[in-house]
Chains A and B, each alone.
Chain A
């Protein structure tokens, strides 16, 4: 069992739909990251959070430390949002990231 699990693994949506990607983890963490990876491209950090909620444009990330769960939401999705979204956690007392396997999102016009 992976320490970090994401769902769904694959997600397709029509342009304009509201998207939710979930991440659950099984260890104590000091922070959780949401990352975006485009095909053939590098990884871009979207959010780093340790509590509550953060918003940037159409993206919203929330975390519930007690339930060991985080969600990434995309409002008014657009084809350019198509990418792999990866959740990664920083274990307490370490500085290394443990990654989920990613959620592949495709948004069709």
Chain B
């Protein structure tokens, strides 16, 4: 079956612009996670959803970052007033359930802020 998909695969934007990154989890997976990976680093947790609600958003770096999952499937990560330091690969993962389920990762969206 289809894995986790993310769009766009690459996004180049200018400092100060607004961007949206989309994640389509594996069908039926209730948990969805967002991570950010800077060059040469391991991924860092941003937020995760259980169903439609954000169960833990403690990794969002500031209030410019926001994520939604209105119907419990597709999720959108939104970044306002982008800064050059936001440049990274944004990874999405989903799992069948939380509390120990294996996470399946998408290919990521490479965001470049000029």
For chain A, the bracket of interface size reads 20 to 34
Cβ of A74 within 8 Å of any chain B Cβ, yes or no, is no
CB of B98 within 8 A of CB of A42, answer no
Taking a contact as CB atoms closer than 8 A, the residue among A43, A48, A94, A101 that contacts B102 in the complex is: A48
* Complex CA–CA separation, A98 to B50 (angstroms): 18
Known A95-B48, A96-B45, A99-B44: A43·B56 in contact at CB below 8 Å: no
Cβ of A72 within 8 Å of any chain B Cβ, yes or no, is no
CB neighbours (8 Å) of A101 from chain B are 40-42
Number of interface residues of B (CB under 8 A): 27
| A/B pair count, beta carbons within 8 Å | 58
Known A96-B48, A101-B42: A90·B100 in contact at CB below 8 Å: yes
User: Is the contact region of chain A dominated by helix, strand, or loop, or is it mixed?
Assistant: strand
* Complex CA–CA separation, A97 to B44 (angstroms): 8
Cβ of B72 within 8 Å of any chain A Cβ, yes or no, is no
Taking a contact as CB atoms closer than 8 A, the residue among B42, B44, B59 that contacts A102 in the complex is: B42
CB neighbours (8 Å) of B59 from chain A are 96
CB of A95 within 8 A of CB of B98, answer yes
CB of B30 to closest CB in A, whole Å: 11
Known A43-B91, A96-B45, A96-B59: A30·B100 in contact at CB below 8 Å: yes
Cβ of A63 within 8 Å of any chain B Cβ, yes or no, is no
Cβ of B62 within 8 Å of any chain A Cβ, yes or no, is no
- Residues on A lying within 8 angstroms of B by beta carbon are 4, 30-31, 33, 35, 41-45, 48, 86, 88, 90, 94-102
**Known A45-B105, A95-B50, A101-B40; further 11 A-B contacts with Cβ < 8 A:** A42-B105, A43-B93, A86-B42, A86-B43, A90-B100, A96-B45, A96-B48, A96-B59, A97-B33, A99-B43, A99-B44
